[in-house]
Every structure is written in C-alpha cells, then in structure tokens.
Amino acid sequence: YQRRVHGDLWSEWTKEDDGVAEEEEAEEEEPQDATNSLHVRLHKCKHLEDRDVGSKSDPYVILKLRKSKRSIFGRQELRSQVIKDTQNPHFNEDLIFEDIWQPQKKSLFIEVWDKDSISDDSLGEGKISLKDIKAGKTTKVKLDLGKHHYLRSSKCYFELTPIGWGN
C-alpha cells in the first residue's frame, strides 16, 4: 500500500517526549511551494493491548505531521490500513507526506487505535522530533507507545526517509 498527501531501524529512540517544550508562538501560514517529503515505512507494532471482548484488537496507525499537537497550520495526517484480530500487526505499508514546509521544525505524532464498530479505542501514542532526521539517510525507529495494564510496553517499528531536505 502507498498513500500520498499533498500539502504540508531500529535506533533506540524510545522517548515518548523529546524533552523540547512546545513553543507558544504565532504560527505563519505555510507556502504552497515546499518540495520536501517524508517517506514512512510502517513495519509493525508489538504487544498492543487487547481492548476487544471476545476477540483481539483491530489496530491501525494515524501519523500526524505538525509543529505541535495544537498547531493550526501545516497539519497533515495519514492513516494505515486496519489489521484484523491481532495484538502484533504487520503493516508493511508505505505512507508519504509531501510538500512539507520547514520539516526540521516539525514532529511526527504516532497514534495506534483499535477499530470498533461504535467508537475506536486508543492503544498508545508517541512522538518523534524531525530535527535530528538527516537528509538522504533512512532512520530506523523503535518507538515505545507506553505500558498498558498488563505492564507490558507496546512498541511500533518504522523507518523514516526524508526526501529533498536541506540539512
């Protein structure tokens, strides 16, 4: 699967928060001529919480690219396919963010959800600052999504490849 949006591996990067305070500054609208992209190869998640009764979860991943969780401008969002009945989904899916303005000033927010017929349940989330991602180099990531009530840590594995970045 490959999905594109127009507009804005295993390195041990397991911090839920990169320690950088989110700045409360006035945002400027982003120009339409940005040429930077980010290729995300979503491999798998492991040890997800079972939130369904009588079956296993049906997980999917939402990727959000923005300056902060509260950003107004430049928000981009991509969603993976749903993998049925598993706590250890193998996505093997390519998701591509295109036309990113100032990628080094943004973060990638990762949310894992359980698809339900009435209301989807959160299975964990994490964040990666893009300021340390180097142009032309693929970065392997193992992201800790937090512990669930079984005291087991959920993880998400993916690769990030920047295209057109000037750093």
> Does residue 5 register a pLDDT over 50?
no
pLDDT averaged over the chain?
79
d(CA 84, CA 108): 25
**On the CB side of 146, how many CA atoms lie within 13 Å of its CA?**
14
pLDDT per position as a tens digit, 70-109: 666 667 899 999 999 999 999 999 999 998 888 888 999 9
Contact 20, 129 (CB under 8 A): yes
pLDDT per position as a tens digit, 15-53: 333 433 334 444 455 555 568 999 999 999 999 988 767
